[in-house]
Amino acid sequence: MASLKRSVDSDPFAANISSKVYVRSTKSGKVQKIVREVYLRQDIPCSSKLCTSCLDTAPRDAAGRPTPFVLSEAPAGTSVFRQGHYLVPDTNAFLTAMDLFEQSSAFYDVIVLQIVLEELRNRSLPLYNRLISLTKSEEKRFYVFFNEFRLETHVARQEGESVNDRNDRAVRKAVAWYGQHLARTKSKQVPAVVMLSNDRDNLRKAKQENIPACSLAEYVKQLKDADTLLDMIPEDQDQEMIKEKRPGEPFYPEYFTMSKMMTGVKAGLLHQGIFNVSPYNYLEGSIRVPAFPKPLVILGRENINRSIDGDVVVVEVLPRDQWKEPSTQVIEEDAITKNENADAEETGDIVSEKERKALQEEVKRTHSKTTEGHAQPTAKVVGVVKRNWRQYVGHIDQSSVSQSAQQGRKQDTVFVIPMDKKIPRIRLRTRQVAELVGKRILIAIDGWDRGSRHPTGHFVRSLGELETKAAETEALLLEYDVQYRPFPKTVLDCLPKEGHDWKVPESLEDPGWKDREDLRGLLICSIDPVGCQDIDDALHSRPLPNGNTEVGVHIADVSHFVKPNNAMDAEASIRGTTVYMVDKRIDMLPMLLGTDLCSLKPYVERYAFSVLWELSPDADIVNVRFTKSVIKSREAFSYEQAQLRVDDNSQNDELTTSIRTLLALSKKLKQKRLDAGALSLSSPEVKVQMESETSDPIDVKTKVLLDTMSLVEEFMLLANVSVARKIHEAFPQTAILRRHGAPPKTNFDELANQLRVKRGMDLSVESSRALADSLDACVDPKEPFFNTLIRIMATRCMMAAEYFCSGTQAYPEFRHYGLASEIYTHFTSPIRRYADLMAHRQLAAAIGYEAIHPTTRSRGRLEAVCKNINVRHRNAQLAGRASIAYYVGQALRGKATTEEDGFVLKIFSNGLVVLVPRFGIEGLIRLRDLADPEPAAEFDADSYTLRTSGSRELEVELFQKVRVRVADQKDEATGKRGVKMELVSVY
Amino acid sequence: MASSQHVLLSPAELAYLHASLSLAPPIRLDGRSPTQFRPLVAETGILPGTNGSARICFADGTEAIVGVKAEVERTAQRPGEDTVFFEEGGVGTDDADEEGETRDGVDKRKGDASWVEMTVEIPGLRDDDSGTAFLSAMLSEALLADGEFAKRLWINRRFHWKLYLDIILISPPLSYPLPLLSLTSHLALLSTRLPRLKSEGDEDPFFDDDWAAAPHLYPRTAATTTRPPITLLVMAVGNNIIFDPSKEELTVADVALAVSVTSATSPSTLSKPHTTDAEAAAAAETDPESGRNLRLLSIRTIDPPSRLTPPGVANAVNAAYGAAGTQKATLEAQTAAETEAVEGVWKAPRGGAKRAVLGALVQKVLERGGVVDEVLDALEAVELG
């Protein structure tokens, strides 16, 4: 009987075929044995420009050209490998020190083995993506070598060999092969092929086999700027090489195994969610889980158990006797752990003495409460499903730096205080303390083991001196994950060739005119803030013979220039939105489009997408149509200019009358909206005035509201609603819409209670209408700002509006709560928002202007796009606000301290938060800031009152108007220049 | 498939065959000794996608392939059973886990016959053919009879492996395929591996993705000799017991039996056999030499094809030979031909197996160093993988 199995002797191709067997567990719980046949080839090139033999056999594309080779013919050398070298890192090297490879000073000509790439993907997806983008960069010369498919470098697993050993052997074999292969090229200087690994066993074996190999540290020491680079080798790895893991008492409880967690979550006994740290108390976190309407509270270091804000964790609810009320105290990490020594071997409990004291007070307070109903369920973290660590911006805690470290080059351990207060301090080992002190630095967390109170991290790069504009702005962009790199060439290649000379074609026969309406004859104008360059909307109105009015909103036709699925579209979809900083704008689309070709500048012809209504005198829509058009704006007004023009009775030209008509209609529209229950919410908005030349901030102004602003706003809302209806009708499953969920009633509990207790006012939240009415009723005759204050606080109780794909929600869920509109989308700012661009494409398809591109129709892709732009949108807002906060601080800098009126927004047992409307800033005033020594205080949580006695006697309550002294102050903790407030008096 | 196949042998040939097999010692057509098996070729691991597979080819050209696939399945919770399975998960301390282990030590493992699904395919026959169904029933009966097999599929109190055995005869059924299918299944089960469990206790199971680390369903350590059962076809002609009969031999069998045997580890862990078969219980004994403890699992009689063969006609009653006697004489001769054996004249056997023959047969099967040992040794020598 001939065997059915492939036999090595009989089959001439047997050597070319191998197989790989593994077990795959699927999400649904299936466990399968997977067998993959591997066909080994000999035409996978080494991709070194030195090699000619590979070039002859390399596979060619349809045009007969091989892919260009990557690795340089004259790679850089090191002090040991003077002849030049190629690097072959193993998986560990990438896992521990990806930042090193991203350096521009070294790490060129790297061979990324397929086996390493695959292993990396299994271990860490973000690192894998970073490596992939490195392999795509032309200057770094990273080459992915498919060693598993090349006959000479394929390694079959041996009997009793572990997967890791086998992979290490594959790496060594590939390195050896590369060495031999390159030696055969008859070049004068054959570069060394060096394996980079931190695995001692692998290094030892390489030595035995005479393969050039280095550990990361050894290798980096051969480079020129070794000191800087050495810091990037993560700490624990370093220690692994130097000394065995020190035996320490573990501080934190061990995590559950993954399967145990998953079983628990499935059984409903454990809960999974995203861990959030309270911005006021770093020892208090909360987690929203699907099982409960209210978030669970996680109190104390031990219960938080090494989770960091944003991690996906699994928690277990604590027994009832451990339930607590969320803290009414402000606890800042630096205040409590100030004197910890970063270098000291940590002994004893994880909860430091001071922390414990803070906790005791907490317990005392909770116990003094008679009403047990106040206690909230608490939970503890039992495991982390997914870390959401990113790179953090921070600065070195001056106090953790020892004197000797200031001078020497020896490695030292210091604390880094992240800018984000929710992130715990990070322990960092560095050799360049002296240089880094006083700088903004970027660091990455490597890990947090049970034996360490703080997570450990490594240095990535320095952004510059603290408080320099460049460093601070970059820090903000990094913190909010804003893509601020210049547009790559591939994106710029998608722009029209004519550049700034591009014009609307003159001939009406031109394909650009196809299905475009000629609206150049209409009196169109734009109204925007002063100095606006990216004008994406313009308006017109004209009376119709039947007494109705035709109103047109014209939006820049960005979709004409940004075609689906090209590089520019991909980049825009990643950026999602334009980010406005005080002195900087991070564009979503290249400048040429944003500020010129798509900007509806006056006096030039531009492509537009127009929404044209016929409105009755009562501002009811008689009909609406949409068309691509060509327009010529007559004038670009600023809000102020337009307002002046409208108010000036002597102006009676056609343009002005048409603006007046628009204004009258917009007021009717607004009234209708308010009647329907639209909320008028508030957030403190200020504007930083800059000196024109140095762009240094000189003053802060609150924004003034003009009628013309609401004019533009009303018609944009109307356009958005009309477009939303149209695209939803055309694409019921895939329309991109925007919704604003009704906030859960519990969100308002606290505010409603505060209002009832302090002012005897009622906040009804049954509907947006009821809320609007009750907000209107919240008026303090003596204090005009009180209403705004309540609105600001109410806004913070709201849900965030979000983009979504219509197929994912039921129609009633489409509702926009704040605008009281059944359906809504974003259409009017395609230059700066990607969602609008998608809406443009969908609308163009809906009116039959063009065929819909598959990506604009695929629901999966649209959902991904929505998810991304929601995140980007939020980050952009936060970055903008942070930028304003920074500049407000800068504007106050050096000025004599000013006294301002403020309002108490939040009250704690040891401090209060005050909002100063004039600057739109909030500041925390701690008890200990009131007087020295710290006055004794009595806090009545039921009536939100804080009474101090002793060194200073005060009684402060919620919503109270106070007089504060505002001065700028450099916050030692975050290194931010911020605003420091001092309580002067209570009104 | 029916054990009776059309065998084109004349009554005279049948009579000759029967006579030669009845001799002491019997003379078989192919010159084998009564206990000798036909040569076979076997290999395992022929289907890379399965958890275990085997192929056996008999010298007469019949050939079978067996593939074993395993799937994780949730164990149905029956009311009344202890359904609290996560109590230790809540505590989450190490002692809880130990507790869980000790509880496992008590061995709450239970198996269920539904955890094994077997399909037999014979070319040219429907899968609901009575013969096929009978074969399948016999094979799975042997597999489940000792009550130990299904326990091997236990993962934890909430999950178990579900095993699918696909047995395919790939040649035409030249002889009764039961022994072939059984031996192939045995070999496939021997080579079957299940992914290594990494989770503990009653958690949702979680497995090692390294196939090389997957343990065998029947671990091959010196300590355990437990093996999957084998079912042998044995026949008796007169007082002779003949193993592995060929197709022709089977046509003259007085009795044909399918005997299922297994080998268990050691008598200490072996629970007293729950087979009611007195003989089996009596025969369960340790073999000190091989360390093998053979257990008889079942005996089934198979309708031998000989019963359907046409009888020969004695010359005495054959009219062609001038047996045209009186009416009475003819009648007597005919009665004699029906009831008594006439030397050299074939007559289909009647009645069941004789007790003495059965007893001898069981003894022969469970004999130390006997046929079963030989077969098991031979199969064990087949290289796995």
Lowest mean pLDDT across A802-806, A860-864, B172-176: B172-176
pLDDT tens digit string along A171-193?
999 999 999 998 888 777 888 89
Q: Cβ separation of B199 and A257 shorter than 8 Å? A: yes
Between CA A77 and CA A59 the distance in angstroms is: 30
pLDDT of residue B1: 43
Q: What is the pLDDT of residue A972?
A: 60
The predicted pLDDT at position A904 comes to 87
- Top-ranked range on mean pLDDT: pick from A16-25, A115-124, B318-327: A115-124
CB–CB of B202 and A35 under 8 A? no
Provide, rounded to the nearest whole percent, the portion of chain A with pLDDT above 70. Answer: 87
Cβ pair A267:B89 closer than 8 A: yes
Residues of A in contact with B57 (CB under 8 A): 1
Strand A213-214 and strand A192-196: the pairing is parallel
Asked if A801 and A818 touch (Cβ cutoff 8 Å), the reply is yes
pLDDT tens per residue, range A623-660 = 999 999 999 999 899 988 899 988 888 888 888 999 99
- Helix (H) or strand (E) holding A578, with range, is none
Question: What ranges in A64-113 are assigned the alpha helix state H?
Answer: 91-101
Residues A353-368 have pLDDT tens digits of 566 566 656 655 555 5
| Rounded Cα gap, residues A428 and A413, in angstroms | 6
**Mind listing the pLDDT tens digit for each residue in A674-724?**
888 888 766 666 666 666 555 566 566 666 778 888 889 899 999 999 999
Tell me what pLDDT residue A143 has.
Answer: 92
| Contact (CB<8Å) A257/B195 | no
Inter-chain contact A257–B63, Cβ cutoff 8 Å?
no
Partners of A922 in the beta sheet? A915
- Element at A314 (helix H, strand E): strand A312-317
CB of B60 closer than 8 Å to CB of B175:
yes
Shortest CA gap A779–chain B (Å): 51
Q: Please, are residues A28 and A163 in contact by the beta-carbon 8 Å criterion?
A: no
Query: ω into residue A933 within 30 of 0, thus cis?
Result: yes
Burial class (CB in 10 A: 0-12, 13-18, 19+), A483: middle
The rounded mean pLDDT for chain A is 82
- Given this model, what pLDDT does residue A113 score? 93
CA distance A917 to A184: 75
B244 CA to chain A: closest CA distance, Å? 20
| Residue contact B72–A260, C-beta within 8 A | no
Contact between residue A76 and residue A82 where contact means Cβ atoms under 8 Å apart: no
- Chain A positions touching B95 (Cβ under 8 A) are none
Find where tokens 């001799």 sit: B23
- pLDDT band at B282, cuts 50/70/90? very low
pLDDT tens by residue, A37-78 = 888 888 889 888 888 888 888 888 888 888 888 888 888 888
Statement: residue A101 has pLDDT above 80: yes
Higher confidence at residue A892 or residue A577?
A577
Percent of chain B scoring above 90 in pLDDT: 15
Half-sphere exposure of A408 (CA within 13 A, CB side): 9
| Assigned fold of A258-386 | OB fold (Dihydrolipoamide Acetyltransferase, E2P) (2.40.50)
The answer to whether A269 contacts B206, with C-beta atoms less than 8 Å apart, is: no
pLDDT tier at A310 (50, 70, 90 boundaries)?
confident
Which residue matches tokens 């080994």? A40
Residues 6+ apart with CB under 8 A from A753: none
Q: Hey, CA dihedral for A636, A640, A642, A648, is it positive or negative?
A: negative
In chain A, residues with a C-beta closer than 8 Å to the C-beta of B48 are 19, 21, 35
Closest-CA residue to A419 (of A477, A335, A342): A477
Name A849's Cβ contacts closer than 8 Å, sequence gap at least 6: A515, A628
CA distance A506 to A501: 13
Nearest CB to B208; choose among A23, A35, A257:
A23
Chain-chain contact of A22 with B209 (C-beta, under 8 angstroms): yes
pLDDT digits (tens, 9 = 90+) for A614-624: 999 988 999 99
Collapsed DSSP state (helix, strand, coil) of residue B378: helix
Provide, as residue numbers in chain A, all residues whose Cβ is less than 8 Å from the Cβ of B44: none
Least confident of A6-15, A918-927, B110-119: A6-15
The two tokens of residue A783 are 């204090």
> Which two three-digit tokens encode residue B29?
């057509």
Contact call for residues A590 and A752 (beta carbons, < 8 A): no
Domains of chain B (ranges, CATH numbers): 11-311+346-380 (3.30.230.70)
Q: Which helix (H) or strand (E) holds A41?
A: none
Find which of A86-95, A393-402, A756-765, B77-86 is predicted with most confidence, using mean pLDDT.
A86-95
Q: Is A953 exposed, middle or buried (0-12, 13-18, 19+ CB in 10 A)?
A: exposed
Residue A232 has pLDDT above 60, yes or no: yes
* Strand A911-916 relative to strand A921-926, pairing: antiparallel
Test B209 with A25 for CB contact under 8 angstroms: yes
> Residue A591 is which amino acid?
M
**What pLDDT, on a 0 to 100 scale, did the predictor assign at position B192?**
92
Q: Is the dihedral of CA A47, A52, A58, A60 positive or negative?
A: positive
Q: Give the mutation candidate from B203, B208, B216, B384 for the A interface (greatest A CB count, under 10 A).
A: B203
Superfamily of domain A895-986: Nucleic acid-binding proteins (2.40.50.140)
Q: Which residue has the higher pLDDT, A736 or A249?
A: A736
In this predicted structure, what is the pLDDT of residue A701?
66
Which of B211, B382, B383, B384 to probe by mutation at the A interface, max A CB count within 10 Å?
A: B211
pLDDT recorded at residue B74? 87
The stretch A662-683 carries a mean pLDDT of 85
State how far residue B7 is from chain A, nearest Cα, in angstroms.
26
Does residue A869 surpass a pLDDT of 80?
yes
Nearest residue of chain B to residue A256 (CA atoms): B92
Q: Cβ contact (<8 Å) for B209 and A257? A: no
C-alpha atoms less than 13 angstroms from C-alpha of B369 in its C-beta half-sphere: 2
| Of B260 and B100, more confident | B260
Judging contacts by C-beta atoms under 8 Å, the chain A residues touching residue B71 are 30-31
Which among B164, B183, B272 is positioned nearest to B229, based on CA atoms? B183
Q: Check if the interface score ipTM surpasses 0.85.
A: no
Distances (CA, A) of A172 to A166, A175, A193, A216, A853: 10, 5, 11, 16, 48
Of the partner residues B49, B195, B207, the one whose CB lies closest to the CB of residue A35? B49
Contact A382 B92 (CB under 8 A): yes
Q: In whole angstroms, how far apart are CA A148 and each of A17, A37, A167, B129, B338?
A: 11, 11, 10, 49, 76
β A412-418/A426-430 pair status: antiparallel
Closest-CA distance, B301 to chain A, in angstroms, reads: 32
Could you say which of B57, B86, B204 has the minimum Cβ distance to residue A259? Answer: B204
Q: Are the beta carbons of B103 and B87 closer than 8 angstroms?
A: no
pLDDT at B65 over 60: yes
Summarize the confidence of residues A22-32 as an average pLDDT.
Answer: 83
Asked if pLDDT for residue B51 goes beyond 60, the answer is yes
Backbone angles phi, psi at A923, to 5 degrees: -140, 155
Residue A555 confidence (pLDDT) above 90 = yes
Amino acid, res. B183? L
**A23 closest CB neighbour out of B41, B63, B195:** B195
Would you say the CATH fold of A895-986 matches that of A71-233? no
Residues of B within 8 A of A122 (CB-CB) are: none
Compute the average pLDDT of residues A102-113.
86
Structure tokens at B165: 């055995």
Stretch among A870-874, A971-975, B336-340 having the lowest mean pLDDT: A971-975
Q: Which helix (H) or strand (E) holds A888?
A: helix A859-892
List the one residue out of A421, A422, A419, A423 whose CA is nearest residue A442: A419
Is the confidence at residue A868, as pLDDT, over 70? yes
Q: In this structure, how many other beta carbons lie within 10 angstroms of the beta carbon of residue A298?
A: 25
pLDDT for the residue A610:
94
Q: Is the pLDDT of residue B90 over 90?
A: no
Domain chopping of chain A, boundaries: 71-233, 258-386, 391-479, 489-734+823-876, 895-986
Residue A475 to residue A459: CA distance in whole angstroms = 15
Q: What is the mean pLDDT of residues B108-133?
A: 83
Q: At residue B93, what are phi and psi to the nearest 5 degrees?
A: -105, 170
- Considering the segment(s) A391-479 as one domain, its CATH architecture is Beta Barrel (2.40)
Report the alpha-carbon distance of residue A456 to residue A437 in Å, rounded. Answer: 18
Decide: helix, strand or coil at residue A214. strand
* Phi, psi dihedrals of residue A21, rounded to the nearest 5°: -120, 130
Cα-based distances in Å from A23 to A203, A362, B50: 29, 51, 11
For residues A795 and A773, what is the distance between their CA atoms, to the nearest angstrom?
Answer: 15
Q: Measured between alpha carbons, how far is A718 from B68 in angstroms, rounded to an integer?
A: 66
Locate A675 and state its tokens. 């009647």
pLDDT tops 70 at residue B222: no
Q: Nearest chain B Cα to A22, which residue?
A: B211
Query: What 3-state class would DSSP assign to B163?
Result: strand
Q: Which of B48, B201, B207 sits opposite A35 (nearest CB)?
A: B48
Percentage above 70 pLDDT, chain B: 76
Confidence of residue A549 (pLDDT cuts 50, 70, 90): very high
| Closest CA of chain B from A311, distance in Å | 21
Give the pLDDT confidence of B342-375 residue by residue, as tens digits.
Answer: 777 888 887 777 888 888 888 888 887 788 888 8
In this predicted structure, the answer to whether residue B287 has a pLDDT above a threshold of 70 is no
Minimal Cα–Cα distance from A316 to chain B, Å?
8
Token digits for A611?
Answer: 């929404």
Return all residues near A629 (Cβ < 8 A) that are at least 6 apart.
A516, A517, A518, A519, A554, A607, A608, A609, A610
User: Is pLDDT above 90 for A971?
Assistant: no
Residue A347, pLDDT score = 42
Q: What is the pLDDT of residue A10?
A: 57
Contact across the interface for A23 and B50, Cβ inside 8 Å = no
Cα separation, A951 vs A935, in Å, equals 5
Q: Hey, are the CB atoms on B90 and A269 less than 8 Å from each other?
A: yes
Give me the numbers of helices (H) and strands (E) for chain B, helices first please: 10, 10
CA A310 from centre of chain: 11
Task: Tell me which residues of chain A have a C-beta less than 8 Å from any C-beta of chain B.
Answer: 1, 3-5, 19, 21-25, 29-31, 33, 35, 157, 161-163, 256-260, 262-264, 266-267, 269-270, 316, 382
Q: How far apart are CA A350 and CA A449, in angstroms?
A: 12
Least trusted range by pLDDT, from A920-929, B152-161, B265-274: B265-274
Check whether domain A71-233 has CATH 3.40.50.1010, yes or no: yes
Highest mean pLDDT among A288-302, A542-556, A646-660, B132-146: A542-556
Site from B197, B204, B208, B384 to mutate, A interface, most A CB atoms within 10 angstroms: B204
How far does B169 lie from chain A, in Å, by closest CA? 15
Alpha carbon distance A165, A151 (integer Å): 19
Instruction: Give B274→chain A minimum CA distance, Å.
Output: 34
pLDDT number for residue B289: 46
**In chain B, which residues touch A (CB < 8 A)?**
41, 43, 45-46, 48-51, 55, 57, 63, 70-72, 74, 86, 89-90, 92, 195, 198-212, 214
